Amino acid sequence: MDWLVVAVFGGVYIGMALGRWPGLAINRTGIALIGALVLLLSGAVDGDAALASVDFATLSVLLTLMVLSSQYAASGFFDWIGNRITHLDLTPRGLLAGVIAICGGLSAVMTNDVVVWAVTPILIQGVMARRLDPRPYVIAVACAANAGSAATLIGNPQNLMIAEFGQLDFTAFLLACGVPALIGLLIVYGVIAYGPMTRAAFDPVPDGSALDEGGPIKLDRPMLIKAVTATIAVIAIFIFVEDRALWSLLIVAVLLLSRRLGTDQVLGRVDWHLLALFCGLFIVSGAMAGDDAIANFFRDALSGLRIDNPAVLATLSLVGSNTIGNVPLVMMLLSLGPEWTPELLHGLAVFSTLSGNFLIVGSVANIIAIEQARAAGITIGFGDYARVGIPVTLISLAFAWGWIMMFV
């Protein structure tokens, strides 16, 4: 057993749990890259093995979705949809339902992080203009984006990894995971609208006259049509094409061919830090899986835990997603876990995604929402979020477990 590989793996995943190494201003991406570099420089992993461990198919599809989101942003779609949400002529609870439905739906076809980043600032302005407390709405955006993203293969990064690992069918995934995602959205609404911690925030009657109508937000229709067409093409690729990565990159090439939108504008919104994090974690996890003694040790340990049992898998997802993070957790389990059936992979996708609603640290989308709120002068503390996130997650996981048990 190569103890250097074990030490690097442990150091990287401790860093994933803490978010940094104590005493250093380094984030999870830096930790993963340093871990991979140590393995390469020490000779514990050679260059060919490192390249072989990187799942370029997943990275290609994720890059495609990020570029696609850039196209939507450039068309003004996110500004327009945020403005439309906040100007809906609805009661506070009706507005909450609209926020959850729209954010959940968008997250099923775009990465949830992008939806939260784009919608939250405009939503805060709108609900504050109505003289409503924006905090429940901000939490709703994060929770709805997480829950909605569980429905499809392209809803979030961990689903993409799971889809490429198991070569899962888009339609079968939607049928298996769409119901828990929809139930999750209903639970988000019920807990926030009628839960004891937040229901008082919906007592005031909205004053529509307080809204600043301003000028209408204009959509760049040619750009939006191009983005929608590309989205349909991506979904078609996942349904009908086997070589998803190569054809997804063709979508990127088409989007880069523009007379008005420069390459730097398209690629400037790509989250290169997330792609680098993936590369580092792929190499570190691949080193563990490539050492027979280490891999067998972990597989035996995980087999003893019986993670092929949906209840155990849901529990492990809840703990792992809120410590090391759902992406590192899924990457580790796919590398070192049991024999994965499509039904069990569906469960892993649903459980790891819904678990992200538990605490602020459970999902990048949560952190983005809280930081966006802070930039607008709104403080949402760890406890404020947890009082909503914990019941939302536990109830959602219970329903999801019951649904997955019907298929396993």
Summarize pLDDT for 100-132 with one digit per residue, the tens.
999 999 999 888 888 898 889 989 988 888 888
In whole angstroms, give the CA distance from residue 398 to residue 408: 15
Summarize pLDDT for 150-160 with one digit per residue, the tens.
999 999 999 99
Tell me which of 124-133, 136-145, 186-195, 311-320 is least confident. 124-133
At 301 the pLDDT is 73
At 251 the pLDDT is 94
pLDDT band at 209 (very low <50, low <70, confident <90, very high): very low
pTM of the prediction?
0.86
Mean pLDDT across 80-109: 89
Sequence-separated (6 or more) residues with CB below 8 Å from residue 225:
none
Mean pLDDT across 199-218: 58
Residue with tokens 């393995």: 39
Q: How does the average pLDDT of the chain come out, rounded?
A: 88
Mean pLDDT across 211-236: 82
Mean pLDDT across 161-169: 92
pLDDT at 247 over 60: yes
Q: Output 15 or 209, whichever has higher pLDDT.
A: 15
Mean pLDDT across 53-74: 90
Mean pLDDT across 187-201: 84
Positive/negative CA dihedral, 110, 116, 122, 126: positive
At 350 the pLDDT is 97
At 215 the pLDDT is 54
Mean pLDDT across 63-91: 87
At 210 the pLDDT is 47
pLDDT at 206 over 70: no
Sequence-separated (6 or more) residues with CB below 8 Å from residue 334:
161, 162, 165, 340
At 195 the pLDDT is 83
Summarize pLDDT for 296-353 with one digit per residue, the tens.
777 777 777 788 889 999 999 999 899 888 888 898 888 877 788 999 999 999 999 9
Please provide the size of the chain in residues: 408
pLDDT at 81 over 90: no
CB atoms within 10 A of CB 224: 17
pLDDT at 99 over 90: yes
pLDDT band at 214 (very low <50, low <70, confident <90, very high): low
Residue with tokens 């995934």: 173
In whole angstroms, give the CA distance from residue 388 to residue 136: 9
At 41 the pLDDT is 93
Whether 355 contacts 396, CB under 8 Å: no
pLDDT band at 86 (very low <50, low <70, confident <90, very high): confident
Summarize pLDDT for 341-383 with one digit per residue, the tens.
999 999 999 999 999 999 998 888 898 899 889 889 998 988 9
